[in-house]
């Protein structure tokens, strides 16, 4: 079944291939994080060996070769080297974090295989049918729009990345959802906007959006956004929320 799914997915567009690769990796991660809590990590070790990732166990943590770590570390401030203990060519990580690195290794492998695969002619009709079904599903959410003309560049970039079928790091998702809530976008609409994310999970997304709405978190300052690697322009507005307000003020001043 998996081989057949790989053949079908190999005929899809690059964003759809990436979504498939992420879905496969996520399914493995569920087992990996469970195995990470055990003393005898057979599955954990087998996956690492399969991908040529040598590691050393250090008490309840894992030492990963620096080169491998840099290749597999997710785009998240939490995984930046400045936040890690590094020594003798190794990076120290918790077992669950190592499971996350293995998830990335699986995703890279599956996506690479899909790019290299050439689907056989007999698979083409099934691929066309699958493409049609996926297109119909996506079209249901294309109509979900927000008025983005006054949004700051960082928020526009996050929306564009997500719509292109690419994953956003956790801090970017949090910032995007938080901004949209401050912009008075309804939770249902926010959930629908996140549907284009490769690893979208409706239950998780809705729960997180509702939690954000109840908690009423303030929007991070631009300096914080910059430190977290999600700032894309020098707007000089202090916080993404002021960019919109400042833009409206400038328009108002011009009209006087």
Q: What pLDDT is attached to residue 76? A: 78
- Residues 162 and 81 grouped into a single domain: no
Residue 74 lies in a domain: yes
Q: What pLDDT is attached to residue 247? A: 52
Q: What pLDDT is attached to residue 140? A: 54
- Residues 95 and 174 grouped into a single domain: no
d(CA 96, CA 250): 48
Helices (H), 51-168: 66-72, 95-116, 124-142, 153-163
Residue 134 lies in a domain: no
- Tell me which H or E stretch contains 239: none
From 106-120, 149-163, 220-234, 239-253, the region with the lowest mean pLDDT: 239-253
- Residues 105 and 11 grouped into a single domain: yes
Strand partners, 86: 91
The mean pLDDT value for 153-180 works out to 88
Residue 127 lies in a domain: no
Residue 221 lies in a domain: yes
Residue 132 lies in a domain: no
pTM metric for this prediction: 0.66
Considering its fold, how many domains does the chain have in total? 2
Domain hosting residue 195, numbered range: 153-255
- Residues 67 and 14 grouped into a single domain: yes
- Residues 24 and 92 grouped into a single domain: yes
The mean pLDDT value for 196-215 works out to 87
Residue 11 has pLDDT above 80, yes or no: yes
Tens-digit pLDDT profile for residues 91-149 = 999 988 999 999 999 999 999 999 999 999 999 999 999 888 887 766 554 444 556 77
Residue 126 lies in a domain: no
Residue 86 has pLDDT above 70, yes or no: yes
Strand partners, 92: 63, 85
Residue 141 lies in a domain: no
The mean pLDDT value for 42-60 works out to 84
- Residues 159 and 111 grouped into a single domain: no
Q: What pLDDT is attached to residue 236? A: 81
């Amino acid at each position: 079944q998996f081989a057949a799914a790989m053949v079908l997915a190999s005929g899809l567009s690059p964003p759809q291939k990436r979504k498939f690769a992420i879905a496969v990796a996520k399914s493995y991660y569920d087992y990996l994080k469970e195995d990470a809590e055990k003393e005898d990590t057979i599955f954990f070790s087998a996956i690492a060996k399969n991908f040529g990732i040598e590691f050393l166990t250090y008490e309840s943590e894992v030492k990963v070769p620096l080169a491998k770590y840099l290749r597999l570390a997710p785009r998240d401030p939490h995984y930046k080297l400045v936040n890690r203990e590094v020594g003798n060519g190794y990076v120290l990580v918790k077992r669950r974090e190592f499971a996350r690195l293995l998830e990335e290794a699986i995703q890279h492998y599956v996506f690479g295989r899909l790019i290299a695969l050439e689907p056989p002619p007999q698979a083409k009709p099934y691929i066309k049918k699958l493409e049609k079904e996926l297109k119909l599903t996506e079209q249901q959410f294309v109509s979900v729009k927000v008025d983005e003309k006054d949004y700051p560049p960082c928020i526009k970039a996050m929306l564009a990345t997500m719509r292109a079928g690419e994953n956003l790091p956790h801090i970017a998702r949090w910032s995007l959802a938080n901004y949209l809530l401050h912009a008075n976008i309804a939770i249902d609409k926010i959930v629908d906007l996140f549907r284009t994310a490769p690893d979208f999970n409706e239950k998780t997304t809705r729960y997180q959006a509702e939690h954000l709405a109840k908690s009423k978190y303030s929007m991070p300052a631009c300096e914080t956004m910059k430190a977290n690697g999600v700032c894309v322009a020098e707007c000089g507005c202090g916080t993404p929320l002021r960019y919109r307000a400042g833009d409206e003020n400038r328009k108002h001043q011009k009209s006087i």
